[in-house]
Chain A
């Protein structure tokens, strides 16, 4: 964009009646491509605004005689029962309450978000300033809770060192996860394996757990794509290209691109799974799925999601709103963060995991906050405040222009 190699897409898009691209993407999704006062690329693959949820074992809840947990107390009761009440009935203490992959704090969402603790992002403090979520006082409470649960054996150990989430999910010895909603799609291999090993087992996704202050939220994706497509200045007929791109973005074309024609290349099963009728070589010759990187639709046209899963996505879009309001999402990385960020993250992880696993006392959290501010935290927050204000202003401007261009 800086070197002037790309074509301005605004005039091209506004020439298309009933544009598919514009009806699928909203301003927030298109915003990252806003440069030099115009739009130069189209996002390719944007995740759903919320795609994870709190999983529990429905059959275990029934066995324990418990209702679906809503508050943290109820949830903890459930988790402890998973550990102590031998839900798989084999006489051995080999079950756990909670498990998941290592490496991202979002996998601990039920314990964090219920306390309004968002440790890996910038957030809006009560007075409106932007601060780093890991320094907020409620984080200490969340950590204390997790430390207690750790002592009671609730956590499956690999959540602290490895990425065994899928295998644990299939095995069925862990009572609760925070994982991707698409895991419940019937065609998912790990789900099929789970049913094979646990014929009476059933997972369900519950609404996010409420913390002591009544706050609850699911994880929110930042709504921006990880790749995008542009038209270079070498193109002879950019308008035509834009029209083609727009056609591909339509729901029907998406289905045809990815799966083909119903009855000819694929079929829908009862529970909503998509099965291919033609074999793989033929599929590749036909070119199926070659263009799915372009406007990868996640709405109803994504027919590999079963009805239930789509409903879960829709619900999650709502249950994740509280976090969306609390978080301050920055589209780019600032220079200060580039300089201090890695070390600050390391500091946080060392302290937080240390507290959870009992190596450090909970009060070490205060030490962490001091160190955070002493080693770049102050500069980083100042920068975040500046950038957020600028971004906000730019976004307002963008939305205004957006109306002008496309309305």
Chain B
């Protein structure tokens, strides 16, 4: 009877021994995370201080939750938070499926050459910085001379719409251009996943008379399911980001009301006051919410009998 414990202990060690090679493989990577990610993490405390560069982290005064309080009670915060959530959701709902659809479309192309060339072209916008894109977008959306408005004028009595200053359209512009920039790059993961599907499954389906839509629906998509789920959960992590650089470059005073997000708000305040602490606090706030969302989404994935992150 006294051997129970020792047996249990022996079992634990035995288990660890069984998986020893796996631990060995994992070791260097974990070492990296500990050294380069966990050791510097103490920097998070800046969010709870009144940080001054000259005093450094250890010398700056502790203020507890004051930075958060300042953040949440700012005049614009309610609208800023609202915009962040709305724009992020908008981008998620439209922007998440887009690369998948593109990957599926590309998959249908039989000519390898055409497929490869198209794939390469389609991810080019990812490499063009927002600085350049913003200039081009402004050019295309110009109310009088922009290409888009040439079309609009046909339907709108000869008058163009100034999209960039319009509260009605600005968010849509943000979402559409964001999808434009990211769809090609985002589809790479799915293209890779599709290429890992066993072609014999398709062959069998075709013998059974399935047309390409049925194939897509019953084979490709289910095979992609686990990738889609993982990508979705990962995207949840960035959900409150809403596209700082893009918005900063495209927005203007007329659309603050619909487009000012947490990051742009913190940025403007930070410029004024060099408030490093507030931006860290805002970042922390976003991260905590994202973490909650990821955990929830992960649980939902499990309920749907899918592998999540865990």
Identify the A interface with B (CB < 8 A): 2-3, 94, 102, 157-158, 160-162, 164, 333, 337-339, 341-343, 345-347, 349-350, 352-354, 357, 359, 375
Residues of chain B contacted by A102 (CB below 8 angstroms): 252
Q: How far is the CA of A346 from the CA of B255 in the complex (A)?
A: 11
Which of A342, A349, A353 is B271 in contact with, Cβ under 8 Å? Answer: A342
Instruction: List B residues 53-105 near A (Cβ within 8 Å).
Output: 54, 70, 74-76
> What total of A-B pairs shows CB separation below 8 Å?
69
Closest-by-CB residue of B relative to A348 is: B253
The SS class assigned to the A binding surface is helix
Chain B positions within 8 Å of A350 at CB level = 253-254, 256-257
Interface size class of B (residues with CB under 8 A): 20 to 34
Interface SS majority for chain B: helix
Instruction: Decide if A162 touches B138 in the complex (CB within 8 Å).
Output: yes
Q: Are B268 and A346 closer than 8 Å at their CB atoms?
A: yes
Task: Check if B284 is an interface residue, CB within 8 A of chain A.
Answer: no
What 0/1 pattern do residues 122 to 145 of B give for CB contact below 8 A with A?
000000000000110010001111
Q: Can you list 26 A-B contacts with CB-CB less than 8 angstroms, sorted by A residue number?
A: A94-B145, A157-B165, A160-B162, A160-B253, A160-B254, A161-B165, A164-B138, A333-B272, A338-B272, A338-B273, A338-B275, A339-B70, A339-B273, A341-B273, A342-B268, A343-B76, A343-B269, A346-B268, A347-B75, A349-B253, A349-B256, A352-B253, A353-B253, A353-B254, A357-B254, A359-B254
The 8 closest A-B pairs by CB, nearest first: A349-B253, A338-B273, A162-B138, A161-B164, A353-B253, A342-B269, A342-B268, A342-B272
A157 contacts B162, C-beta separation under 8 Å: yes
Residue in chain A with minimal CB distance to B167: A359
Assembled-state Cα–Cα distance A261/B164 (Å): 50
CA distance A354 to B166 in the complex (A): 11
A342 to B257, CA, bound (A): 15
Give every chain A residue within 8 A of B256 (Cβ-Cβ): 346, 349-350
A158 to B162, CA, bound (A): 9
Q: Which residues of A contact B165 (CB under 8 A)?
A: 157, 160-161, 357
Supply 7 further A-B pairs (C-beta < 8 A) apart from A102-B252, A343-B269.
Answer: A3-B54, A94-B145, A157-B142, A162-B134, A339-B273, A350-B256, A352-B253
Q: Closest chain B residue to A338 by CB distance?
A: B273
Q: Is there an interface contact between A162 and B164, defined as CB atoms closer than 8 Å?
A: yes
Q: Are B76 and A158 in contact (CB under 8 A)?
A: no
B residues engaging A (CB < 8 A)?
Answer: 54, 70, 74-76, 134-135, 138, 142-145, 162, 164-165, 252-254, 256-257, 260, 268-269, 271-273, 275
Task: Give the complex CA separation of A349 and B257 in angstroms.
Answer: 11
Chain B nearest CB, measured from A188 CB (Å): 20
- In the complex, what distance in Å separates the CA atom of A337 from the CA atom of B165? 28
Whether the Cβ atoms of B138 and A161 lie closer than 8 Å is yes
A333 to B272, CA, bound (A): 8
> B residues within 8 A CB of A375?
75
Contact partner of B142 (CB less than 8 A), chosen from A158, A353, A357, is: A158
Closest A residue to B138 by beta carbon equals A162
In Å, the complex CA distance between A339 and B134 comes to 30
